[in-house]
Structure 1
Amino acid sequence: MYFHVQRLINEIEQDEPDPAAANALQEGLGGQFGEMRTMMQYLFQSINFRGAAAKPYRDLIQGVGTEEISHVELIGTTISRLLDGSPAYQGKKSDPIDKPGSAGAIPLNIALDQGNIHHYLVGAQGALPVDSVGNPWSGSYVYNSGNLVLDLLYNLMLESTGRLQKCRMYEMTANKTARSTISYLIVRDQAHENAFAKALETLGINWKNTLPIPKTNAQKFPEVKRLLDLGLQSKQYSFDLTGQSEAGKIFQGMSPSKDGTKLDAGEQAPEGVPSTISPERFEEFSPGADKDLIALIEATAAMEMADIEATFGALNAPA
């Protein structure tokens, strides 16, 4: 079972809308090496896992896959915020929905010459399950051979390629909203590379001669360096409410990245940051919920949280 804590796994910094950056980030969401791919690949590998004696490997893959769900949420929310309104549109909520913005600006003119027009035509200024050129995400990306060594090798390659692409995305934009998410994913991709590399080592596979972890020199990016200095590349979370994960039997010892850090699988989950909902976009004809529906949602959420706490106790957050 999966439970959702209504917090984002990392903070998204505030900056101006940037549809071009949003479109670049679509590759990191719905591309062949994006977060939707890693999420689905690891979850299917863990669902189809066989061999009770190899449970620590299943738990490791499942923990990474569960984290990838939060990465899909993070990068999708970032794309939505990068698309949230046109800089030229300064209309008020009391304005008619067809009234131009200040100085006669057209509310959605930014959609015509920047980024992906589908973000505005069919996505209401939100993320889509596509890559950066609009190709829909495909389940054929998912690799699940049933052979543990092959799957781990493929997972290491997937994380390595994803990190390379995110380093390129970082260099495509100076937008703080985009960079705050990209830098976090660069570091967490390295943590997942470490996880799969360490798993291969425990199986006696000399992966370094075949598939080295690529050196990107991403530590030169200031946002990335701050996270590396915190050791985030060497942590792996269990996302396990019951304390039954055995992933720590694998994710331990010195980091395969050879950066002098020790691997740590002792935390259930990162603390995260508050998750907020963006305001309505009236120029997209996308109003929010009415008062009665909001009250019903809040009451239902309170009942669900009470049920979770009655069954599992209060959710544990790291100190």
Structure 2
Amino acid sequence: MYFHVQEWINDIAEDEPDPAAANALQEGLGGQFGEMRTMMQYLFQAMNFRGAAAKPYRDLIQGVGTEEISHVELIGTTISRLLDGAPDYHGKKTDPLDTPGAGGATPLSIALDTGNIHHYLVGAQGALPVDAAGNPWLGSYVYNSGNLVLDLLYNLMLESTGRLQKCRIYEMTANKTARSTIAYLIVRDQAHENAYAKALETLGIDWKKTLPIPKTNAEKFPEVKKLVDLGLQSKQYSFDLTGASEAGRIFQGASPSNDGTELDATQQAPKGTPSFIAPERLEEFSPGLDPELLKLIQKTAELELAEVEASFGPTAA
């Protein structure tokens, strides 16, 4: 059972729209080594886990998988922000939708020669479940062998490859919106490398000379250095409301990254950052709710609230 906090797990910086950067980020979302893959792989491994004596390993995998849900939200929202609007378009809501905005460019002309045109044709300036080449995400990416050591090895490889690709994407763009999210995911991927490496160490496999992968000294990226200085690469969260997680029995001791830090699994969840809903995009014919629909939704919400209060009593104002 999962609960949703209406916050982003990390702040998304503001910058100009950049559909090319948005398309590069699609690899980190829907690619073979992207966030959709890690989310689904770890959750399936946790759901299918067998053997009560190995519960700490299940809890570790499940905690990482739960965090990956928030990573899917973060990177998908970042892609949407990078697509939200068009540089040099200064149209107003009152402008006809089939003419250029006053003093600006045609609203969606950027879609013709930059990034993935499906972001505009299909997604209404939003993220898609595809990779950077437009290939759809596949369930066959998910690896769940049922063998603990094999699954941990595969998870370590997955995090390492995902981090390698994000380091490359970072080097592709100077856009602040893109880099704020990429840097956060680079550091958290290293934390997950540490989690699976430490789990393997407890099973007799020594990864201390191997991690981190890639050996790129990512601290040269200023956004990454700021997070590493906070020790974010050595924290793992349980996302467990009941205190039943035993992941801390594994995620402890010296970091396998050999960076002099100690692993810390004491936090339930990281502190989030306020989220907000993007404005309507009239040029995409995505106006949101018309007055009639808004009235219907309000009526439905009132009926649902009445049912809740009838069962559980008055809700807080």
Residue 272 of structure 2 corresponds to 272
Residues 229 and 87 (structure 1), Cα distance of their counterparts in 2 relative to 1, 3 Å cut: same
The whole-number CA distance in structure 2 between the counterparts of 1:296 and 1:196 is 49
Residue 25 of structure 1 deviates from its aligned partner by 0.2
The whole-number CA distance in structure 2 between the counterparts of 1:104 and 1:89 is 5
Residue 216 of structure 1 deviates from its aligned partner by 1.9
The whole-number CA distance in structure 2 between the counterparts of 1:231 and 1:300 is 47
Provide the secondary structure at the position in 2 that maps to 1:120. helix
* In the alignment, structure 1 residue 23 sits paired with structure 2 residue 23: yes
Residues 201 and 232 (structure 1), Cα distance of their counterparts in 2 relative to 1, 3 Å cut: same
Residues 304 and 23 (structure 1), Cα distance of their counterparts in 2 relative to 1, 3 Å cut: farther
173-182 or 197-206, which moves further after superposition?
A: 197-206
Residue 142 of structure 1 corresponds to 142
Contact 1:46/1:59 (8 A) holds in 2: yes
Residue 287 of structure 1 corresponds to 287
Alignment size in residue pairs: 309
Residue 75 of structure 2 corresponds to 75
* In the alignment, structure 1 residue 180 sits paired with structure 2 residue 180: yes
Contact 2:164/2:213 (8 A) holds in 1: no
Contact 1:41/1:143 (8 A) holds in 2: yes
The whole-number CA distance in structure 1 between the counterparts of 2:301 and 2:201 is 48
Alignment of 1:134-173 (within 5 A): 134-173=134-173
The whole-number CA distance in structure 1 between the counterparts of 2:309 and 2:60 is 29
Contact 2:211/2:256 (8 A) holds in 1: no
Residue 247 of structure 1 corresponds to 247
The whole-number CA distance in structure 2 between the counterparts of 1:289 and 1:146 is 46
**What residue ranges of structure 2 are gaps of 5+ in the alignment?**
none
The whole-number CA distance in structure 1 between the counterparts of 2:262 and 2:206 is 20
Alignment of 1:63-212 (within 5 A): 63-103=63-103, 105-208=105-208
Residue 224 of structure 2 corresponds to 224
Residue 97 of structure 1 deviates from its aligned partner by 2.4
Residue 14 of structure 1 corresponds to 14
- The TM-score normalised by the length of structure 2 is 0.92
Match of 1:10, as an amino acid? N
Contact 1:88/1:101 (8 A) holds in 2: no
Contact 2:12/2:78 (8 A) holds in 1: yes
Contact 1:60/1:246 (8 A) holds in 2: yes
The whole-number CA distance in structure 1 between the counterparts of 2:24 and 2:139 is 21
The whole-number CA distance in structure 2 between the counterparts of 1:117 and 1:292 is 34
The whole-number CA distance in structure 2 between the counterparts of 1:296 and 1:276 is 24
The whole-number CA distance in structure 1 between the counterparts of 2:306 and 2:39 is 29
Residue 90 of structure 1 deviates from its aligned partner by 1.4
Q: Deviations over 1:27-58 (max 9, x none)?
A: 00000000000000000000000000000000
Q: Deviations over 1:190-214 (max 9, x none)?
A: 0000000000001112345778643
* In the alignment, structure 1 residue 37 sits paired with structure 2 residue 40: no
The whole-number CA distance in structure 2 between the counterparts of 1:297 and 1:129 is 30
Contact 2:95/2:101 (8 A) holds in 1: no
Residue 142 of structure 1 deviates from its aligned partner by 0.5
Query: How many percent identity over aligned positions?
Result: 81
Match of 2:218, as an amino acid? A
Q: Deviations over 1:241-269 (max 9, x none)?
A: 11100000000011000101111101111
* In the alignment, structure 1 residue 261 sits paired with structure 2 residue 261: yes
Residues 210 and 231 (structure 1), Cα distance of their counterparts in 2 relative to 1, 3 Å cut: closer
Residues 114 and 227 (structure 1), Cα distance of their counterparts in 2 relative to 1, 3 Å cut: same
Contact 1:157/1:211 (8 A) holds in 2: no
Q: Deviations over 1:264-283 (max 9, x none)?
A: 10111111011100000000
Residues 302 and 110 (structure 1), Cα distance of their counterparts in 2 relative to 1, 3 Å cut: farther
The whole-number CA distance in structure 1 between the counterparts of 2:95 and 2:144 is 53
